[in-house]
Structure 1
Amino acid sequence: MAVEVGQQPFSFETAEDALRTDPSTFIEQRGAGGAQSDITIRGASFEQTLVLLNGLRIDDAQSSHHNLDLPVPLEAMRSVEVLHGAGSTLYGSDALGGVVNFITATPTEDSLTLRAGAGSFGGNEESAIATAAGHRWSEIATGARNFSTGFMPDRDYRNENASNESRWSSALGTTDILLAGSDRAFGADNFYGLYNSWERTKGWFASAQQQLGENTSAAFGYRRHTDNFILLRNDPAYYANNHIDTSWQAVVRRQQPLGHEGGLFYGLDAEGDSIDSNNLGHHARNQGAGYADLDLHSTRRWSLSAGLREEVLSGGARSVTSPDLAGSFWVAPKVKIRASGGYGFRLPTYTDLYYSDPTTNGDPNLKPESAWSGDTGVDWFPNTRTTASMTLFYSRQHDAIDYVRANDTEKWQATNLNGLRYAGVESSLGWRPTATQSIQLGWTILAGAQSALHGLQSQYVFNYPVNNASFEWSDTFAHAYFVRTIVRVAQRYQQEAYPVWDLEMARSKGWIHPYFRAVNLSNTGYQEIVDVPMPGRSFAGGVEISLRRKP
């Protein structure tokens, strides 16, 4: 699945909003305005979703709670691609439930765009985007911030990020240099227990990607992330954590065409991460991998893909083999059936291994978790305006990492669990009644088996949605006025279902674009994380000034 976030910039306030359009992707949000959120896909835990930026890892080695600390503003994004199911064959660790890849935009014109708005709960938002495009080069510089005094005490936030991306072409191919950073401070009331906590994270990211001829590319990415956590906001000296984690990745990828009906994709991947923390200690690890994927296809008839990855972990004492297999077949001119299966794994984060606070203990002896998953489905294309699909999926996890306890008086303890299984059905329907109008419906049903708990309480195993549905409608009137509304209905395991209704309107023609956004118009009281309430009805509006010059 791919969501074009750059196609209509007023549709999504945060990256989480773009991901919510996929009913198989469930967002467990703690802070409004994108302050902190987790991603789960097909029932997998938030730690089992790999997050990429332009194909490079930005998963956080300290804690996967920070995976969506995106250093690049949403305004600089072109699209978000979501892979359902195991993706470790191509991408390595963390890709058990799926992969989310954020793709930055490539400018095609000179422009300057300024936006400012305000809204409920003391909300304020500003952004600036400047682009330039030449025959063989382009440049895009973006900065954005949003803040709020909070819809309840100790739920204020301030988010800032900025990026600059340069591209140019040479005899070798395209060179891409990206520099980005973020700063997020937020009240964390009840985020990790019954405490009025406060947290501030900062992130820096740099990457360089270089084409080496038509079929080969090389890339390098570096990420640094800091996390300052205060347990009691009114008494910072009582308990505080300061973490600094760094990670790097270097890849070489090649695509070798095999005639007109196939290709061989292969490459080498090396990566490492480290942490310096007053709570977690000082640790580092490295790993390297080689992978290959054979892709064969016959246009509008069939396709077959088989891949294998061998990952060697620190010290060479252990390796992980990750295979996958996928295929599709057109049983009729408008009907395609497909199936896929694969293996995914995840190394424990440093929090899983070494964390300790008044309520939680990690375990340095945790094993990596893994999962076999598969799906089969059918796609139907009755006409050029309509698409429909249905998918059955299944996943069985081994050594899954969770935090459990016997009763409310005990500490949460990190542990490995076996016997976790998830199965479900994804269904979607897309229809374009007119050239400007779009209707999207989606519904994912999920069931899980948690026989490994044996009556223990769990932090994450029981948080999955058994039902997650969405209805989205959008239209552009008179080629100038854009309207989009989406209604989502979610029901977490053993919880009541709840609806959330959002609405966006904007003038998209000309150089002055007033906009209006209403969030949770239904004023639903709900929680996506236990004991962390989400905001009620809120409104925001503003104006964007966009000056453009075609090259």
Structure 2
Amino acid sequence: MRRSVLLIASLVSACAEARQKPAFPFVDITIVVLGSPIPVSEQESARAVVSLDAQRAPLAFHQIEDYLRTDSSVDIQQRGGGGIMADISVRGASFEQTLVLVNGLRMDNAETAHFNLDLPIPLFTIERLDVLHGDGSTLYGSDAIGGVVDVRTVTPADTSLRLKTGVGSFGENEQAMLASIAKKNWSDVLAGDREFSTGFMTGRDYRTENASNELRFASVLGHSDMLIAGDDRAFGANQFYGPYDSWERTKGWFAALTQQFNPNTQVSASYRRHSDIYLLERDEPTGYKNQHIDDGFEGAVRDQRVLAKNLTLATGLEEDTDQIVSTNLGQHGRNRGAGYAVAEWLQPGRGSLSLGAREEVFDGGGSVFSPMFSATRWLPHKTSLHASIGHGFRIPTFLDLYYSDPSTLGNPNLKPESAWNFDAGVSWFPKPQVTASITVFYARQHNTIDYTRASEADPWHASNLPGVCFTGVEASVAWQPLSRERLTVSWTNLVGAQSALHGLQSEYVFNYPINNARLTWTQQISSQVVLNTRFGVLQRFEKNPYAVWDVSLVRQLGRIRPYLQMTNLTNTGYEEIVNVRMPPRGFVGGFEIVLRKPRSGS
């Protein structure tokens, strides 16, 4: 108790210090590239893109999922603490229909999309998260039916060392480190973090470890970026997959090289490996056990050229290879290649027009064509209209195709999913401190993959569902009444077609939120102390609504920076996955030590 009092006292003691320059950038200087072949501001973007700044008061957030929960069109369906088994969906699409990228490179897991957020990069290294609402297959390929999340890593501004440690509820113990070097022609970021917890209930303990190194340098070839990362996650999976006290351990490795040869041409290559060991009964290691190892390779050549004034052409060629060796799924592999082209006309202050197409070819002779169209038009009174039409698709994971146990059966005859997405809306920017937007969207899916059954006595079967569609509206308002205060409110409403089930029970597709409201209020109450409040109310299909309130108080300047993170202050009992309880009220507190050296010009 004395320790908590000292922590809070240290945070509040800085409140009387003199105020500095505005803490938050205005929306018109925020640049996004997700969903567009060229960099554009949020005002000029024809697509609904939310950019989440992970370097603004980073001690106020515990994990990646905390940032994503501030977007009402994003639904996180999490099974455990510490980011364990967190599924992500956008605009009602299933968790397998959201593509996750790191620095523009694919991270989706070929075994099962349950591991798409098993990102091996420490939280300290993330600069921002860009979230695209709606299809993105024209630019990004498979899995981008409902949306795309691109996690961008930080480029260091100085040479520094950051050390963090904290403790909290349920045996929480966390440490993190980041060491950066910033020189004139090169920089390097070495980082690692780990987190332990005994769990808020029996069989829900976990241990996570992440480490990465990213080297950037300039040479006669141009700008190079080399990223190497890995993670190790062991966790109690009690009730995750049914009435069993299960246990699981996953590991991930990721290596990527991006070479920018000139302002127009970029070449990238990456390798990712993920392993998964699963025990049905934790206390019976010689009982039912699965072990999977999957490998993925990606190579891409991208080019962007100005053809005429305000007209840009972006083209690219990509190749992807996935392989798996599994005690349950067997040995399988697949290859696919793609080419795309997108032409974009953009005249700031007047509007934009984008037209693009992608052809993806699979080994065996199959192919998918994914066109897209988007446009904006500026009206008087700082108002803009935006609209888009696009086609998205997803190929089944290896688990969808080949998994088999007494409770779940895959289907090797599954067809790829596809969907047409339509959206249109209006945005208003009356002044730099205020933005408002409302968008209506409609998605019609074909061959949606879900696990269904006739009754609880039957196993789940992977199958294609016809005629799944979602209609919805998303609205948001961002208000910055003072230079050091920001309030963001968003709400998304969804209506889905249930007729596709034909009386069957659904495991995943129809667990979507029909109402999701989010409020984020950030106050810099002094030159050093930031108070962050996140409040959400969510109602899932055929479920009762529930509210969750999180608050963080952090010192963001100075050599020693204490922090206090308070989660689920409402002590709400809720489930994001059916029959998987989420943690009650919890607290984590600690401090960060920052040692910094000014950037050298040598």
Determine if the alignment matches structure 1 residue 127 to structure 2 residue 168: no
* 8 Å contact from structure 1 (residues 450, 461) kept in 2: no
Tell me which residue corresponds to 2:214: 165
Among 370, 375, 388, the alignment partner of 1:322 is 370
Among 392, 410, 420, the alignment partner of 2:468 is 420
Determine if the alignment matches structure 1 residue 56 to structure 2 residue 111: no
Tell me which residue corresponds to 2:420: 372
Offset of 1:341 from its aligned partner?
1.0
* Structure with more relative contact order (C-alpha pairs < 8 Å, separation 6 or more): 2
Tell me which residue corresponds to 1:521: 569
Name the amino acid aligned to 1:326. Answer: S
* 8 Å contact from structure 1 (residues 353, 366) kept in 2: yes
Offset of 1:237 from its aligned partner?
1.7
Offset of 1:75 from its aligned partner?
0.7
Name the amino acid aligned to 1:482. Answer: V
Tell me which residue corresponds to 2:188: 139
Among 545, 562, 567, the alignment partner of 1:497 is 545
Using the aligned pairs only, state the percent identity. 53
Tell me which residue corresponds to 2:395: 347
SS at match of 1:432: strand
**Structure 1 outlier segments of 4+, above 3 Å:** none
Unaligned runs of 5+ in 2: 1-49
* 8 Å contact from structure 1 (residues 173, 214) kept in 2: no
Determine if the alignment matches structure 1 residue 228 to structure 2 residue 290: no
RMSD: 0.7
Determine if the alignment matches structure 1 residue 90 to structure 2 residue 108: no
TM-score by length of 2: 0.91
CA distance in 1, matches of 2:104, 2:169: 36
* 8 Å contact from structure 2 (residues 57, 554) kept in 1: no
Tell me which residue corresponds to 1:292: 341
Tell me which residue corresponds to 2:233: 184
Determine if the alignment matches structure 1 residue 246 to structure 2 residue 283: no
Offset of 1:171 from its aligned partner?
2.8
* 8 Å contact from structure 2 (residues 60, 563) kept in 1: no
CA distance in 2, matches of 1:432, 1:46: 33
SS at match of 1:65: helix
Unaligned runs of 5+ in 1: none
Tell me which residue corresponds to 1:36: 85
User: Superposed, which structure 2 residues align to 1:437-456 within 5 Å?
Assistant: 437-456=485-504
Name the amino acid aligned to 2:81. Answer: A
User: Superposed, which structure 2 residues align to 1:187-226 within 5 Å?
Assistant: 187-226=236-275
Determine if the alignment matches structure 1 residue 337 to structure 2 residue 385: yes
* 8 Å contact from structure 1 (residues 119, 541) kept in 2: yes
Among 411, 426, 435, the alignment partner of 1:363 is 411
SS at match of 1:433: strand
Offset of 1:9 from its aligned partner?
1.1
* 8 Å contact from structure 1 (residues 89, 308) kept in 2: yes
Tell me which residue corresponds to 1:400: 448
* 8 Å contact from structure 1 (residues 263, 296) kept in 2: yes
Offset of 1:331 from its aligned partner?
1.3
CA distance in 2, matches of 1:233, 1:478: 49
CA distance in 1, matches of 2:381, 2:138: 31
* 8 Å contact from structure 1 (residues 500, 520) kept in 2: yes
Name the amino acid aligned to 2:102. Answer: L
Offset of 1:333 from its aligned partner?
4.1
Tell me which residue corresponds to 1:510: 558
CA distance in 2, matches of 1:73, 1:341: 36
SS at match of 1:32: coil
Offset of 1:236 from its aligned partner?
1.9
Offset of 1:425 from its aligned partner?
0.5
CA distance in 1, matches of 2:281, 2:89: 29
Tell me which residue corresponds to 1:549: 597
Offset of 1:22 from its aligned partner?
0.6
Determine if the alignment matches structure 1 residue 19 to structure 2 residue 31: no
Offset of 1:11 from its aligned partner?
2.4
Determine if the alignment matches structure 1 residue 410 to structure 2 residue 458: yes
Mean Cα displacement is larger for which, 129-138 or 254-263? 254-263
CA distance in 1, matches of 2:133, 2:555: 35
Name the amino acid aligned to 2:281. Answer: L
CA distance in 2, matches of 1:517, 1:386: 28
Name the amino acid aligned to 1:240. Answer: K
SS at match of 1:307: strand
Among 196, 200, 204, the alignment partner of 1:155 is 204
Name the count of aligned residue pairs.
550
Question: CA-to-partner distance for each residue in 1:336-361, whole Å, 9 max, x for gaps?
Answer: 00000100110000000000011010
